[in-house]
Chain A
Amino acid sequence: MRTSSSLTSMKALPGFASLFKPRSARVFSPAASWLLVMPLLAVFAIGFLYPLAKLVDLSFSEGITATYGRLLDDPLYADVLLTTAAVALSVTMAAILLGYPVAYAMARARKRTAFIVAACVFVPLWTSVLIRSYAWIVLLQRNGIVNTLLIATGLTDQPIKMLYTQGAVTLAMTHVLLPFVILPIFSVLRTLPDDYIRAARNLGAGPARAFFLVTLPLSLPGVFAGATICFVLALGFYITPALVGGPGSMLMPTLIGQQTTVLVDWPFAAALSTVLLIMTLLVVILFRKTLSVQKGFGSVH
């Protein structure tokens, strides 16, 4: 068999020259591909991976007992860990319950209504978490709007303590994370063809049955994705619990904040951070399949 001269010469190329030759016109050459990710790798090495490695390293710097041992000994910390998970879970549940109808309306409503609903979802998303937490303080404080309204309507004659409670934290966090649940559900619902529901209706299902037997099961991937994003973000939320929560409602992030700013115990703060980091990564790995971050954010614009 006759082989071409050019082809034999190509096969004879040393390994490194093949780096510069794309395997096909559909892809870049390996060298170009690496060149393109290099800046990202560099900035992530400096600003992400190295700091995290240093953090973990610091948590072991004074011996494992001084940090992790203390964490296990004092039941307070296990308590905080549990509370954090419980708050994250209740925020997630509340966000799904409140978010699903909104996502449904956004996906199904006519153009104009859908636009208004979408605007109501995006406006908070583009408002800084700080500002929203601040607004919740103004709403919930002792002489805030909610208390003024309650007294004015005669529902109570004494202002109720709402701010700096766990309830306030849950409420404000639900508000902040709601768009992150709505968007993934919306993006799944939007792609569901109307025909499925029409078919179900045509086969004799009432509107409620059609929803529970067809729409809801098909939208579950969006629900799971939204729930996972929400839970993960809720675990590591700092600003809102720090501002709206009080000493009675300590969560992992606020505990870390307190260790660094008030007690200035960096190794212990590093250990707490490592625990929170591992917890988050575990959740992400466990629910990796449901978590399509891209799905959620692909619909943001």
Chain B
Amino acid sequence: MIGQKLILSSIEKRYGEAWAVREFNLQVAPSEFISIVGPSGSGKTSLLTMIAGFEMPSAGTIRIGERDVTTLAPNKRDIGMVFQKYALFPHLTVRQNIAFPLKMRSRLTRRALETRVEEMLLLVQLEDYGGRYPNELSGGQQQRVAVARALVFDPPVILMDEPLGALDKKLREDMQFEIKRIQERHGATVIYVTHDQEEALTMSDRIAVMHQGRLQQVDTPEQLYRQPISAFVADFIGTMNFVPAMKIAERAGKDVVRLPGDTVIEVDRRSGTRSPGEPVGAVLRLAVRPEHIALGHWDKNNSSTLAGVVETSIFVGSAQIVLVRLKDRADVVLRVQRPAGEIARLTRGDLVEVKLDGATMLAFTGEERRAA
């Protein structure tokens, strides 16, 4: 196996008074594909430049396999990197670009080098484009050259900095699978930085979520989606609705909360998802995914249900998205996802019952503000 483990311990980076990265700890397993996501300015690119060696951390260590590379010069690190805008050398052909890392290492004979370059061209499906210059290629092709250049010398770790950011949506989706395929065949450990959480969900073994320079949570895509550790992560990964509520009692490991309109429900208290000791009377934010909200006919005689008014209903192909404004909390608009065609379409102004299931909801403390 080519991939090696990468260990980041207590990484900090400060520019003057401003912190870019704080108290960052992460262990990446050999051949793992891990994504670092976060809004812009969350410190993910700073982290990547420190792993690549372009900047030094203010404190902490970086290890690749058994080597401490914290202060090692970037050209001694043996890390492959795919840059945001590819950074292909404009004066060199595709073949020369891919051969460049091998030439700099001069471990191979001329013959072996040429064979290796042809292998890489084949791997990224550009065997007919070796003689072209980068600006004679499309965005997707340039992207593949960049991947080939990063992989050609079999680095144990590959860094990718928003590599698909410059491509249009359709091509981006194709390339996600392409990169994943190449990585699985090649076996390198990949650190993939993106601000696109969907991309991270599709490609990664694990995802690390960063916010304001700190690591919020690192987990598998599924765990992250189901068990976000904070309201920020809940909001950042996938789409999440937040409903304000007040805790009124505790019963058999569950929180009893009161929703707007005086509806009372029980919410599972799961370990690690929030501070468990919220006192009775505390304001909580209940998080619920769009697909976990059901809509029903409004029954005016049943006062214990949550009422909402339909704002819009959008058909998105595979599903129907309905925006519902709560009747008793006009500042809360819920996004509800229903399987398309299953139910009659709702129209603006319809009064509906919003059905929430405590088992699919998470409770967070009320103070945390929604991230922009």
Contact = CB atoms under 8 A, between A and B. Distances in A.
A10 interface: yes
Contacts, number: 33
A6 interface: yes
B59 A7 contact: yes
A42 B276 CA distance: 71
B59 A3 contact: yes
Contact of B74 (A3, A6, A25): A25
A3 B56 CA distance: 14
Contacts of B54: 24-26
A4 B55 contact: no
A1 interface: yes
Contacts of A5: 68
Contacts of A23: 56
Nearest to B74: A25
Contacts of A111: none
Interface string B36-69: 0000000000000000011111011100000010
A2 B60 CA distance: 8
B68 A4 contact: yes
Interface string A1-22: 1111111001000000000000
Nearest to A26: B54
Contacts of A3: 10, 59
A5 B68 CA distance: 10
Interface in B1-28: 9-10
Interface residues of B, number: 15
B71 interface: yes
Interface string A200-211: 000000000000
B97 interface: no
Interface in A21-80: 23-26
A24 to B, nearest CB: 5
Interface string A241-278: 00000000000000000000000000000000000000
Interface in B125-178: none
A10 B71 contact: yes
B70 interface: yes
Contacts of B68: 4-6
B55 A1 contact: no
A7 B53 contact: no
Contact of B56 (A1, A2, A24): A24
B71 A1 contact: no
A24 B74 CA distance: 10
A146 B60 CA distance: 80
A4 B74 contact: no
Nearest to B23: A1
Contacts of A2: 9-10
Contact of A7 (B55, B70, B73, B74): B70
A24 B73 CA distance: 10
Contact of B70 (A1, A6, A25, A26): A6
A26 B55 CA distance: 8
A25 B55 contact: yes
B55 A6 contact: no
Nearest to A1: B10
B53 A4 contact: no
Contacts of B61: 4, 6-7
Interface string A117-140: 000000000000000000000000
A25 B50 CA distance: 10
Interface string A140-167: 0000000000000000000000000000
Contacts of B56: 10, 23-24
A2 B25 CA distance: 12
Given A4-B70, A7-B57, 17 more contacts: A2-B10, A3-B59, A4-B9, A4-B60, A4-B61, A4-B68, A6-B70, A7-B59, A7-B70, A7-B71, A10-B71, A23-B56, A24-B56, A25-B55, A25-B73, A25-B74, A26-B54
Interface of B: 9-10, 53-57, 59-61, 68, 70-71, 73-74
Interface of A: 1-7, 10, 23-26
15 contacts: A3-B10, A4-B9, A4-B70, A6-B61, A6-B70, A6-B71, A7-B57, A7-B59, A7-B60, A24-B55, A24-B56, A25-B53, A25-B55, A25-B73, A26-B54
